[in-house]
Chain A
Amino acid sequence: MNPILNLERVTVEFVRQRAVGRPRQVLHAVNEVDLEIAPGEAVGLVGESGSGKSTVARAITGLNPVTSGAIGVDGNSVLRAKGKDLRMLRRRFQMVFQDPYSSLDPSMSIGSTLTESLTVHGLERGPAAVERAADMLLAVGLRSADLAKYPHEFSGGQRQRIAIARALMTDPDLIILDEAVSALDVSTRAQVLDLLQGLRRDRRLAYLFIGHDLAVVQRMSDRIAVMYLGRIVEVGPADDVIRNPQHPYTASLLASVPQVGSRGAERAAELRRRLHVRADPPDPWNPPSGCAFATRCPFVMEMCRAETPPAVEIASEAVSRCHLATDAGRGTESEARWDRAREFLAMPSPAS
């Protein structure tokens, strides 16, 4: 079966020249990223801000031009398709953004917002379009009477439901959710996550779920990919990545998650002592040579600053880009410390 989405060595570069006569600088916002999503599969994409995860989403949807590489949807190249063919492909994947306040046009009724995407894609018009819009509102837990209302009449959670209904209008195979629940209050967030899981089950949707809350991403995803400074540094089955991370950056992210519970603070302190990154992310316009994480990695070795680590297959479907996973890293002092830190991380939380 064709993957519904296939990224092959996708690179997105941004170029700037700060003044006439000064050298042009190139930023690799996305650096040779490979990623496949099977039909009906949910893949989580995590990483700090600036890691390039949103740029991946924007490259797929055509909001950012791709410098090199290939993006395929169900075997068809999105980058080469033009005109009608491109529109046909585009309606198979939709995007939901973080901020439900700025992603809905305040001057358009919910009905017009929803039917617009059908018109754009040359699908149903008139009463059939309105009927479909009403169905989608029901599917996301709103009422067909809401079609006549405007965005300001809804709460944040309801607006995000509307954005999801809009994404469903073209009957897509894949929805890209870019921090789709991050702006919501905790009590409404759960409702929207429940809705997304139900929709995925009922409609066999594939998700690219971009988020910074690792617990939420784990629950929503079959696989997780971790990005750092434009590269995917680790990918694997969601539970494996969380329980037994293969890349020190993933472990650092996990160690940074606040721990709830009576002894949570003690455990958090110990985790951070062993695993936490010490410095700020490097300037992406001026990335370090070798492994981009070397400047912050608690387990950094000499080879890390010299050579970019290769992608090493740890198990089937699990890949880490770290020298510790290669033959060269074996038997080093860093590896011993890394193994102990991972054991500590894997210990069950003492909370309650």
Chain B
Amino acid sequence: MNTDLVGQHVLDINHLTVEFRTVSGWSPAVRDLSLTIGRNEVFGLVGESGSGKSVSAMSILGLLPRRGTRIGGGHVRLGKTDLLGATSKQLDQVRGSRVGMIFQEPMTSLNPAYTIGEQIAESVRRHRGATRRQAWDRAVSLLSRVGIPTAARNAERYPHHFSGGMRQRAMIAMALACEPELLIADEPTTALDVTVQALILDLIAELRAESDMSVLLITHDLAVVSEVADRVGVMYAGELVEQASTADVFNAPQHPYTSGLLSSILALDSTREFAGIPGSVPSVDREFPGCRFADRCAFATDACTISPVALRRSAGRIHRCLRSDELVLEGAR
């Protein structure tokens, strides 16, 4: 890692609220989210389905459908560019040239009618103004960089010829085509086998090491995050409930939800009971007078259910639990 660059913010999300239209009116799916990602940093954003982690990522790039969703407030900056105030033309310029994206299902992002090489070259040409020949050469070298064998030949093949792991690597090659400042990876390995997942995680770590690129890694899998992320944010029901360095989150979580997630990871050769979190993530339109996790929390007291819990900051850590000072929560085992 290039340490002298760490600390400059590439992405700065400030009090972001994203609302969905529901039967009861506009309901916040992301509530007052603030986080920053430094240059060359890997930030892991974790939560179960319905926590708002993907909605956050989609909203900062203007990828949410216009009908039924809206930005309720906040600012998002990529370097000096204000993303929420950007026109769709400006956002087009940002996506693919300054921010690369990879998603869980690469097939939905690859066009079945064009070869893999054409699609990557198109992206290079569009954002870098290269000639066809240069763009094609760059596409081939990118495919080779992400571990596609016989890249020159495979560049001429169509997405359906590729296995899931190869498609995901082709997606990464496309995302890297313009040397983005930030790579947003939304569940990049969820649909893949563990062997291929290991290859992709190694690849992300290598790519980060050989450039200034920052990574926002969104996943429900804490084990994945523990291997590659520098810092971790945990989201629950639309809110950030904890944020700290990866080691701190795993060794000494400060929010009961984080602790619950950690204890539900089952390690190989473990003999302990299956542990989960009772209940399920509430729907976006459900309002709670107090802590949104209180009704599932083993440590909740009456005080937790009276008024919303604000984020608390201490020693570089952030959490949203009233009782964190008195609780000693279990970390990863």
B281 & A215 in contact (Cβ 8 Å cutoff): no
Given A215-B268, A216-B266, A352-B333 in contact, is the A258-B227 Cβ separation under 8 Å? yes
Per a CB cutoff under 8 Å, which of B193, B194, B227, B276 touches A265? B227
In chain A, what residue has the closest Cβ to B50?
A: A185
Give every chain A residue within 8 A of B300 (Cβ-Cβ). none
Q: Given A190-B264, A280-B166, does the pair A265, B226 have CB atoms closer than 8 Å?
A: yes
Q: Which residues of B contact A86 (CB under 8 A)?
A: none
Minimum-distance CB pairs A-B, first 10: A190-B276, A187-B277, A258-B223, A190-B274, A256-B198, A48-B193, A256-B194, A185-B48, A186-B264, A215-B266
Interface of A (DSSP majority class): helix
B195 in the interface (beta carbon within 8 A): yes
Q: How far is the CA of A194 from the CA of B273 in the complex (A)?
A: 9
How many Å lie between the Cα of A85 and that of B274 in the bound state?
40
CB of A48 within 8 A of CB of B195, answer yes
Closest chain-A Cβ to B196's Cβ sits at a distance in Å of 7
Minimum CB–CB distance for A209 against chain B, Å: 14
Q: Which residues of B contact A48 (CB under 8 A)?
A: 193-196
Contacts across chains A and B counted by CB atoms under 8 Å: 133
B-facing mask of A235-279, CB < 8 A → 1, else 0? 000010011000000001111111111101100100010001101
B48 contact from A187, A191, A218, A259, Cβ within 8 A: A187
> Given contacts A281-B163, A352-B333, are A218 and B269 in contact (CB under 8 A)?
yes
The interface of chain B, by Cβ under 8 A from chain A, is 48-49, 149, 163-166, 193-199, 201-202, 220-224, 226-228, 247, 250-251, 260-262, 264-270, 273-278, 280-281, 331-333
Q: B227, B261, B269, B270: which contacts A264 (Cβ < 8 A)? A: B227
Contact A272/B202 with A157-B280, A262-B247 known, Cβ cut-off 8 Å: yes
| 28 residue pairs from A and B, CB less than 8 Å apart | A48-B195, A49-B164, A49-B193, A157-B280, A186-B220, A186-B265, A187-B48, A187-B277, A190-B264, A190-B274, A194-B276, A215-B268, A216-B266, A219-B274, A242-B269, A255-B198, A256-B195, A256-B197, A257-B268, A258-B221, A259-B226, A259-B227, A260-B250, A260-B265, A276-B198, A349-B268, A352-B251, A352-B331
Q: Tell me if B274 and A259 are in contact (CB < 8 A).
A: no
The verdict on A279 contacting B149 (CB below 8 Å), with A186-B220, A258-B201, A262-B251 known, is yes
- CB neighbours (8 Å) of A260 from chain B are 222-223, 226, 250, 262, 265, 267, 332
Q: Is A189 an interface position by the 8 A CB rule?
A: yes
- Decide yes or no whether A193 CB sits under 8 A from chain B: yes
Residue A155 at the B interface, CB < 8 A? yes
Per the bound structure, the CA–CA distance linking A214 and B267 in Å amounts to 9
Could you say which residues of chain B place their CB within 8 Å of the CB of A253?
A: 194-195
Whether A186 contacts B202 in the complex (CB less than 8 A), given A49-B164, A279-B149, comes out as no
* Contact present for A219 and B266 (CB under 8 Å): yes
